[in-house]
Amino acid sequence: MQFEHLIQINDLTQMLTPLLTRQQLWQGLVYRAESPMAFMDHVDEVTLLERGPDWVQRKMVMGKLTVTDKIQYERETRVHYHTEASAEHGGGQMIMKIEEPSPEALFVRFTYITPHPDSPDPETAHYLEFLKSAWRETDIDTVRKIRELAASGQLG
């Protein structure tokens, strides 16, 4: 199954909300990848296992669930999570891509790719709708947290 949605970061018609720069947004997305406990309450522990010039590999513990993922960075453009399949988790991918159709008009496209079927049975379909809603809310919270970090001067 693939699911994607778009979140507007800067609304150029609404000047009451401070604009984020592309660099601030990028730093926030990387911070979320490397310090997910600052963004998600249900994360108990994170260990960065390895680091390369444009990637990290981490282990994340959430209750009884442990996931390992490799996160690749395409500077100021894209963060791509590759989550390993395990006995507890089916694995999958998440991509956070910064889009800027015009100067300062920033968006983030969130894409989720999972091993779930595209045409599931009714019970699984209900579960997948719940999952999509949870992803949307988590992504909205991510943007909210990035705004807070930027406002406090912690991002660029």
Range of the domain at 13: 2-151
Q: Does the residue 81 lie in any domain?
A: yes
Q: Does the residue 156 lie in any domain?
A: no
Q: Does the residue 76 lie in any domain?
A: yes
What's the rounded Cα separation, in Å, for the pair 144 and 60? Answer: 22
State how many domains the chain has.
1
Position 4 pLDDT exceeds 90? yes
Position 124 pLDDT exceeds 90? no
Beta strand segments in 10-152, E: 45-52, 55-62, 65-74, 78-83, 92-99, 107-113
Q: What confidence tens digit (pLDDT) does each residue in 10-39 have?
A: 999 987 889 999 999 999 999 999 999 999
**pLDDT interval class at 119 (50, 70, 90):** confident
Q: Does the residue 7 lie in any domain?
A: yes
Per-residue confidence (pLDDT) for residue 46, from 0 to 100: 96
**SS3 label, residue 143:** helix
Torsion from C-alpha of 14, 148, 94, 48, nearest 10 degrees: 160
Q: What confidence tens digit (pLDDT) does each residue in 44-71 have?
A: 999 999 999 999 999 999 999 999 999 9
Residues of the chain with pLDDT > 70, as a percent, come to 100
Residue 129 belongs to domain with CATH number: 3.30.530.20
**Cα 2–Cα 21–Cα 82 angle in degrees, nearest 5:** 30
